[in-house]
């Protein structure tokens, strides 16, 4: 196998892997800082970062050394015993998020599953009933497992897999009246991304966040914020909800929490922790294992020590300025949305050709939906990297 060239590897992959992704035609081999290299050694400036994952860039020595040391100690034990990395990661995540209780998962979708189970159990303990409803948002994205899919507000992802878990009602994002119309005595949770990612890089308005908090307080409903894509410093705050002075009852995170190892978490306030899941209600073999938790604890330590959210804010402001200029130069771009280093340009046509052109020129970009280019680089991206990206982006737009 080792003497296969890049094209042969791609053909092999298409024979062996289930075709669930329309992959771009490169085989990535290694990363350094904000650059990736394919197996031919070609360099790419990376504005995707594994889709909002590699917050610290590739090859951060302190992070890599932590993982190497942990591999030599122990990679996995079991949740029936304590391990120090999990205890330290939980303590750090609590401090960073302001939440009180943490459950570690293997992915974002699993964190959403845990949040849904938390809400249902909270309702069950409240009134003994099992017909509670969750309100989720149109155009949301929460993952591909059945529960997460059921609360994802895009029929395109759901249709072939119905029926979902049931008792989910959808409201319009940033439209408080539409949420109020769905609230009734059975409502147990309102779930929203603080900034919608896949659905179009739309931040929640202040009125919407505060309004939902108020509804939840008045009716003993859980406010669940999905921070899987927008959390961990990306919007200029440790977690995006902090901008609003609003605290959710339950929060999900993943992606940049592990910066490359599979870990997510659902977190909650002490009140919810005391009135929901208990021993035997939930579990996972790998979730919270020493290797992934050593990574998360180190990521949280670096994020706080180096004030990474402030860096993301500064780079995000610069990116905003530059992308605004791009938008104003091309009629095919209709809107510029987002917050911090989670931004998107909305085109009046599909963006795949533009992304392919950029790739040819050594720039990795990704879409959100079919007609938005999403910009989610590492949070350590520099102004020079942004300038370099803009040059290639303009060429790609012109050639596409």
Ligand X SMILES: Cc1ncc(COP(=O)(O)O)c(C=O)c1O
Q: How far is the CB of 97 from ligand X (least distance, A)?
A: 16
Smaller CB separation from ligand X, 46 or 193: 193
Cα atoms in the 13 Å half-sphere on the side-chain side of 119: 34
What residues does 80 pair with on adjacent strands?
none
Q: How far is the CB of 108 from ligand X (least distance, A)?
A: 2
Smaller CB separation from ligand X, 194 or 357: 194
**Is 123 a residue that touches ligand X (CB under 6 A)?**
no
**Is 143 a residue that touches ligand X (CB under 6 A)?**
yes
CA–CA gap between residue 249 and residue 221 (Å, rounded): 9
Q: How far is the CB of 50 from ligand X (least distance, A)?
A: 10
Helix (H) or strand (E) holding 322: helix 308-329
Strand segments, DSSP code E, in the chain are 28-32, 35-38, 43-46, 101-105, 133-137, 168-171, 187-193, 195-196, 202-203, 222-226, 250-253, 264-268, 333-339, 342-347, 363-364, 366-367, 372-375
Closest to 99 in 3D by CA, of 115, 78, 120: 115
Q: How far is the CB of 115 from ligand X (least distance, A)?
A: 10
Interface region with ligand X, contact rule CB under 6 A, candidates 101-109, 173-181, 269-277, 313-321: 101-109
Smaller CB separation from ligand X, 33 or 108: 108
Q: How far is the CB of 187 from ligand X (least distance, A)?
A: 21
**Is 226 a residue that touches ligand X (CB under 6 A)?**
yes
Interface region with ligand X, contact rule CB under 6 A, candidates 102-110, 183-191, 232-240, 278-286: 102-110
Interface region with ligand X, contact rule CB under 6 A, candidates 24-32, 191-199, 241-249, 350-358: 191-199
Which position among 116, 228, 259, 292 is part of the footprint of ligand X (CB under 6 A)?
A: 228
Q: Provide the 10 A C-beta neighbour count for residue 85.
A: 22
**Is 197 a residue that touches ligand X (CB under 6 A)?**
yes
Interface region with ligand X, contact rule CB under 6 A, candidates 61-69, 107-115, 239-247, 388-396: 107-115
Smaller CB separation from ligand X, 179 or 192: 192
**Is 141 a residue that touches ligand X (CB under 6 A)?**
yes
What residues does 347 pair with on adjacent strands?
333
Structure tokens at 60: 């951060």
Which position among 229, 235, 289, 371 is part of the footprint of ligand X (CB under 6 A)?
A: 229
Sheet holding 366-367, edge to edge: 333-339, 342-347, 372-375, 366-367
**Is 346 a residue that touches ligand X (CB under 6 A)?**
no
Q: How many residues bind ligand X (CB under 6 A)?
A: 14
Q: What's the count of helices (H) and strands (E) in the chain, helices before strands?
A: 14, 17
**Is 108 a residue that touches ligand X (CB under 6 A)?**
yes
**Is 234 a residue that touches ligand X (CB under 6 A)?**
no
| Paired sense of beta strands 372-375 and 366-367, if any | antiparallel
Q: How far is the CB of 114 from ligand X (least distance, A)?
A: 12
8 Å CB contact between 93 and 265: yes
Q: Which of residues 284-313 bind ligand X (CB under 6 A)?
A: none
Closest to 219 in 3D by CA, of 241, 245, 173, 186: 186
Smaller CB separation from ligand X, 223 or 228: 228
User: Considering just the CA atoms, what is the radius of gyration of the chain in Å?
Assistant: 21
Which position among 109, 246, 292, 312 is part of the footprint of ligand X (CB under 6 A)?
A: 109
Smaller CB separation from ligand X, 145 or 178: 145
SS3 of 324, please? Answer: helix
8 Å CB contact between 259 and 66: no
**Chain residues in the site for ligand X (CB under 6 A):** 107-109, 112, 141-143, 193, 197-198, 226, 228-229, 254
């Amino acid at each position: 196998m080792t003497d296969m060239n890049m094209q042969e590897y791609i053909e092999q992959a298409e024979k062996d892997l289930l075709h669930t992704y329309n992959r771009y035609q490169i085989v990535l081999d290694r990363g350094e800082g904000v650059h990736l290299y394919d197996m031919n050694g070609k360099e790419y400036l990376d504005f995707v970062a594994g889709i909002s994952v590699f917050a610290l860039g590739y090859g951060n020595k302190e992070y890599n050394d932590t993982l190497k040391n942990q591999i030599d100690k122990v990679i996995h034990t079991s949740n029936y015993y304590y391990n120090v990395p999990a205890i330290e990661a939980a303590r750090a995540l609590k401090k960073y998020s302001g939440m009180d209780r943490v459950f570690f998962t293997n992915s974002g979708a699993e964190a959403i599953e845990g949040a849904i189970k938390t809400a249902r159990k909270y309702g069950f303990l409240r009134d003994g009933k099992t017909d509670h409803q969750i309100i989720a948002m149109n155009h949301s994205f929460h993952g591909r497992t059945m529960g997460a899919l059921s609360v994802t507000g895009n029929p395109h992802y759901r249709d072939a897999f119905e029926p979902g878990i049931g008792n989910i009602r959808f409201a319009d994002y940033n439209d408080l009246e539409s949420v109020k119309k769905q609230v009734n005595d059975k409502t147990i949770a309102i779930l929203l991304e603080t900034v919608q990612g896949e659905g179009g890089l739309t931040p929640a308005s202040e009125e919407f966040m505060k309004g939902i908090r108020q509804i939840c307080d008045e009716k003993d409903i859980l406010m669940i914020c999905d921070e899987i894509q927008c959390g961990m410093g990306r919007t200029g705050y440790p977690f995006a909800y902090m901008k609003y002075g609003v605290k959710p009852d339950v929060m999900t995170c993943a992606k940049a929490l592990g910066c490359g190892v599979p870990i997510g978490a659902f977190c909650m306030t002490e009140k919810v922790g005391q009135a929901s899941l208990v021993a035997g209600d939930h579990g996972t073999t790998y979730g919270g294992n020493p290797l992934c938790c050593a990574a998360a604890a180190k990521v949280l330590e670096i994020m706080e020590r180096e004030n990474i959210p402030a860096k993301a804010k500064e780079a995000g402001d610069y990116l905003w300025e530059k992308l605004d200029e791009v938008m104003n130069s091309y009629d095919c771009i209709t809107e510029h949305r987002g917050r911090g280093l989670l931004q998107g340009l909305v085109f009046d046509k599909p963006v795949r050709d533009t992304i392919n052109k950029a790739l040819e020129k050594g720039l990795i970009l990704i879409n959100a939906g079919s007609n938005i280019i999403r910009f989610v680089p590492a949070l350590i991206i520099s102004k020079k990297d942004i300038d370099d990206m803009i040059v290639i982006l303009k060429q790609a737009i012109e050639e596409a």
